[in-house]
Structure 1
Amino acid sequence: MPRDRPIYIIDDEPQMCRSLEMLLALEGFETQSFPSVEAFIRDLPRLPPGIILSDVALGGLSGLELLQTLPSLDRSDPVILVTGHADIPMAVAAMKSGAADLLEKPFEAQRLLGAVAAVRDRILQSTLLEQRLASLSHRERQVLRQIVEGLTAKQIATRLDISPRTVETYREHLMRKTGATSLAQLVRFAVEARVTCVPL
């Protein structure tokens, strides 16, 4: 699998940055290090989407604050947080804020590489799903929206002025195009991709 996303390391310990850079470079990753969240945010507009590996406790803004700030900066880069003092409240706060993982120092190299691999797998699956959903016709997306709303085939048919059998045909197309193996999975795919803002 190509290492197509750079990894941005945010840590105020130069030695830690160098160690992580060497480890990740050996695995074929492009890396760039920053001494603070503020420095990273300054450079963010020119940085391509990547995977962020940030210490929690930094001199200025924390890694957790970065995680909470990213959406307002119109970025959705996955964030793996690293901390020397993990506790349950911090873990809960990290997960609620959308952290991809929380690693406690000292951690083994394989633990970090496993966390990065898991993030990359999720990115790949999300990209594939976006591509599949992009291939849907306007009518298929309309039917999918009604399915997500919980309507039956008969109700969808009435709302869209088509026959129930046509609705079933569209549903079969949706299952095939998205790769969903069940109606529940189809709905989950649609919700994850926010396929609900389709005009009727």
Structure 2
Amino acid sequence: MTGRVYLVDDDDDFRFSLVFLLEGEGYAVEAFASAECFLAASLPAGPACLLSDIRMPGMSGLQLQDELAKRKLALPLVFMTAHGDVPMAVEAMRKGASHFLEKPFSDQHILDIIRDALAPEAEPDPVAGRIAALSLRERQLLDRVVAGKLNKTIADELDISIKTVELHRARMMDKMQARSLAELIRMTARHLA
């Protein structure tokens, strides 16, 4: 495998286990117990990605993401958490995280994500085309669904029935080719401001 993986997680056992897995797959891995330690390190040039816990003592993963942006350090960022929620995932993705994973996750899933994060971009992202193909009502639903609003709240805001929300939501999910809310959030985060 080519590329370096930086791992930031305050859980020693989890960190050790993930380093063992990744090194076994041929990745060069540097692990850090805190965001502050990662930021203090000298990072070599070359393809790399960052795996970070989101809830840590001291600087959180979201604060680390903000600091990386301030320093203009562009690394594919994968957040991992055992205690995530939709608003947190939306915020992380809108700020440019490539993935938001809930612990525990399978070894193969994290390996696939790292492989994709380190792969050069070969084709343009088709998500913008999918968003453009949505009707006005489907686009209104997309914005509200990604913001974590419930169908009842959306119905009230748009002055339509819950059944109509459900119908448009199903069509929107189909057009976006999203199988779940998490997948919809991940794929649209960079496109919705």
Q: TM-score range by the shorter chain?
A: 0.5 to 0.7
What's the offset of the Cα at 1:4?
A: 2.7
Q: Larger relative contact order (C-alpha < 8 A, sep ≥ 6)?
A: 2
CA distance in 1, matches of 2:81, 2:43: 27
What's the offset of the Cα at 1:119?
A: 1.0
CA distance in 1, matches of 2:12, 2:72: 28
CA distance in 2, matches of 1:120, 1:9: 14
- Report what 2:6 is aligned to: 8
Q: What's the CA shift string for 1:25-68, capped at 9, x where partnerless?
A: 1111010110100010011x443352100000111111111112
Question: Which secondary structure state, in structure 1, belongs to the residue aligned with residue 121 of structure 2?
Answer: helix
What's the offset of the Cα at 1:74?
A: 2.4
Q: Which runs of 5+ in 2 are unaligned?
A: 125-193
Q: Does 1:48 align with 2:37?
A: no
Higher helix share: 1
CA distance in 2, matches of 1:77, 1:46: 11
Question: Which secondary structure state, in structure 2, belongs to the residue aligned with residue 125 of structure 1?
Answer: coil
Indicate the structure (1 or 2) with the bigger Cα radius of gyration.
Answer: 1
- Superposition map of 1:144-159 within 5 A: none
Runs of 4+ in 1 over 2 A off after TM superposition: 45-49
- Superposition map of 1:1-200 within 5 A: 3-43=1-41, 45-49=42-46, 50-121=48-119, 124-125=120-121
Q: What's the CA shift string for 1:106-154, capped at 9, x where partnerless?
A: 1111111111122122xx126x99xxxxxxxxxxxxxxxxxxxxxxxxx
> Structure 1 length as normaliser, TM-score?
0.58
Q: Which runs of 5+ in 1 are unaligned?
A: 130-200
Q: State the AA in 2 paired with 1:29.
A: Y
CA distance in 2, matches of 1:61, 1:5: 26
CA RMSD of aligned residues (A): 1.8
Q: What's the CA shift string for 1:139-190, capped at 9, x where partnerless?
A: xxxxxxxxxxxxxxxxxxxxxxxxxxxxxxxxxxxxxxxxxxxxxxxxxxxx
> Structure 2 length as normaliser, TM-score?
0.60
CA distance in 2, matches of 1:73, 1:4: 25
Q: State the AA in 2 paired with 1:112.
A: I
What's the offset of the Cα at 1:69?
A: 1.6
Overall identity of the aligned pairs, in %: 33
